[in-house]
Structure 1
Amino acid sequence: MTEVFDPHGIEQAVFVIGERHASLDEPWRAERRARLIHVNEGVLTVHTESGRWVVPPARALWIVANTLYCLHATRPVHLYSLYVATDSASDPAADPAPDAEPLPAQSGALVPDALVQALLATAADLPHDRPPGEPARRLLQVLLDRVADLPAAPLGLNWPDDPRAQRIAEALSANPAQSLVLEELAAAAGVTARTAARLFAKETGQTFGQWRQQLRLLAALEHLGAGESVTQVALEVGYSDVSSFIAVFRDAFGDTPARYFR
């Protein structure tokens, strides 16, 4: 694993860093700036206290400032990270940021267009040891304006806050393929199935069945990104019928598993 970049020594309000890692297992951290992480190659898994995301190539994750998070990748990954001081009070040493459209107020996965991807790659080559010149400021201005309008991507999963629901979530996360029904999972977590169902709906915004399906799909993205076959991945995330897995995957992500990473 290569050394993880520390942005705290850079005073610019807006800048982009490119990073390559053979693997990644960052400790939990929080930034005073917001961060857009674009995955150029590989698959990145991101945990926050309230959510999980799996970010494949050509997708990105926006993390609001002061959010506790960690990054994980089991295989090589190439990232571009846009750091933005969204609140001058939280970053008083930074130079003023260019004016821009309102940036996302919540963390979430996004779909960068070709222009944003090109701007990120270009901005990563700008110097970070001095204030940007006018051409660089204009480039960063366009980048921020484009980020504000990027569409969301269904690559996340809200994590329950209640300890009883968390025990169920952690058990399923450790083994997405397990076939235990909610009644069995709830009993092992010391809660009734009715209460567990209510907790998942209240704290994740999804029914338990929807939440479990999304967990399996995100696990599938991780395995597919590691180069495993569609049949192998379907079995590893709990589908005995490969055709059913392909249909659910296509409904969620708009393409078949075999074509998604092309």
Structure 2
Amino acid sequence: MQNIRHEGAARAPAAVRHTSVAPTSTRWLASGGEIDAHRHDDHQIVYAGHGTIAVTTDAGSWVTPATRAIWIPAGTVHRHQAHGELELHLVGLPAAQNPLALTEPTVLDVSPLLRELIVAYTRDPEDDSARRARLRAVLLDELRVAPERPLHLPAPAAPLLCAVYAVLRADPGDARSLEELGRQVGASARTLSRLLRADLGLTFPQWRTQIRLHHALVLLADGLSVTAVAHRCGWSSASTFIAVFRRTFGHTPGSRQGS
């Protein structure tokens, strides 16, 4: 995935900010804007009301449009980057309050009701009224039934896979086979396939599709047309790209979710 500095793990611990309480707030970031590596003692929900948000940890990256939110468990070192003008909604929850019992960053479906609850709850974080407490209770109820989505782009650990990853991030449209890519990095297709299964639990086509989809989200947020994105990311036609995108995200790439 280009335009995101995630070649290795999250920054060294000395550079990581620690904010004990995860904030509940609404923020606006210009396209390309970043929030540097940090961690909280609380859980946090990250939701893009408009634009696309990329969250990176030492385990990989998540890029989500406005139909999804990202659950970030307490203690997870993470950083954010905006693609497109970003309306960012952050909800902090105490470490003891984990309605889905999630221990890893996870992408969640955001229903229309959950979207409105997140937006309303982050609008005035200083409000401590009984109405806000009720709003929070309903928000937690909706989180308990929010479906999880496997939209994680895992970061490989094996050096040979890292080399292939660098090639595919630089050009997601690279259509070479695993055997051809292996010749470039000095490994057989069989070795790379074995490493992919052991390291990431993926086949090569699955991994390449994930890389392409994450890059496509970034390009769409930057304003490129669906046809241009399909071409740059290696799909044979716009219709093929649209079908894969809809199957993964539940809507077409041309729809302006969250606008």
Q: Name the TM tier (shorter chain).
A: 0.7 to 0.9
Evaluate the alpha carbon distance shift between residue 37 and residue 247 of structure 1 in structure 2; reply closer, same or farther with a 3 A threshold.
same
Alignment deviations for residues 92-119 of structure 1 (CA, whole Å, 9 cap, x no partner) = xxxxx6xx74442321111122222222
1:252 & 1:144 partners in 2: Cα distance?
Answer: 25
**Comparing 166-175 and 207-216, the one that deviates more:** 166-175
1:179 & 1:220 partners in 2: Cα distance?
Answer: 16
Evaluate the alpha carbon distance shift between residue 110 and residue 169 of structure 1 in structure 2; reply closer, same or farther with a 3 A threshold.
same
What is residue 3 of structure 1 aligned with on the other side? none
Residue 31 of structure 1: CA displacement? 2.1
**AA at the equivalent of 1:41:** H
2:211 & 2:196 partners in 1: Cα distance?
Answer: 13
**AA at the equivalent of 1:215:** I
Evaluate the alpha carbon distance shift between residue 150 and residue 165 of structure 1 in structure 2; reply closer, same or farther with a 3 A threshold.
same
Instruction: Compare the two structures and name the one with the higher strand fraction.
Output: 2
Within 5 Å, give how 1:189-208 maps onto structure 2.
189-208=185-204
Kept in 2: contact 1:50–1:161 (CA 8 A): no
Evaluate the alpha carbon distance shift between residue 76 and residue 82 of structure 1 in structure 2; reply closer, same or farther with a 3 A threshold.
same
Evaluate the alpha carbon distance shift between residue 200 and residue 119 of structure 1 in structure 2; reply closer, same or farther with a 3 A threshold.
same
Which stretches in structure 1 are left out of the alignment for 5+ residues?
1-5, 88-96
Q: Percent of aligned pairs with the same residue?
A: 32
What is residue 92 of structure 1 aligned with on the other side? none
Highest CA radius of gyration, 1 or 2? 1
Q: TM-score, normalised by structure 1?
A: 0.81
What is residue 230 of structure 1 aligned with on the other side? 226
2:254 & 2:123 partners in 1: Cα distance?
Answer: 34
Kept in 1: contact 2:25–2:124 (CA 8 A): no
Alignment equivalent of 2:61, drawn from 49, 52, 69: 52
Kept in 1: contact 2:20–2:40 (CA 8 A): no
Say yes or no: does 1:119 pair with 2:117: yes
Say yes or no: does 1:16 pair with 2:12: no
For residue 39 of structure 1, give the secondary structure of its aligned residue in structure 2. strand
| Count of aligned positions | 241
For residue 18 of structure 1, give the secondary structure of its aligned residue in structure 2. strand
Alignment deviations for residues 213-237 of structure 1 (CA, whole Å, 9 cap, x no partner) = 1211221122122221111111110
**AA at the equivalent of 2:118:** L
Residue 54 of structure 1: CA displacement? 1.2
Alignment deviations for residues 231-262 of structure 1 (CA, whole Å, 9 cap, x no partner) = 11111101243332223223333333223647
2:76 & 2:211 partners in 1: Cα distance?
Answer: 22
**AA at the equivalent of 2:106:** G
Q: TM-score, normalised by structure 2?
A: 0.82
Residue 154 of structure 1: CA displacement? 4.2
Say yes or no: does 1:32 pair with 2:41: yes
**AA at the equivalent of 1:17:** S
**AA at the equivalent of 1:122:** A
Alignment deviations for residues 187-226 of structure 1 (CA, whole Å, 9 cap, x no partner) = 3333322111111122222101111012112211221222
What is the root-mean-square deviation in Å for CA atoms of aligned residues? 2.5
Kept in 2: contact 1:154–1:253 (CA 8 A): no
Say yes or no: does 1:143 pair with 2:143: no
Residue 64 of structure 1: CA displacement? 1.2
**AA at the equivalent of 2:82:** A
Say yes or no: does 1:71 pair with 2:69: no
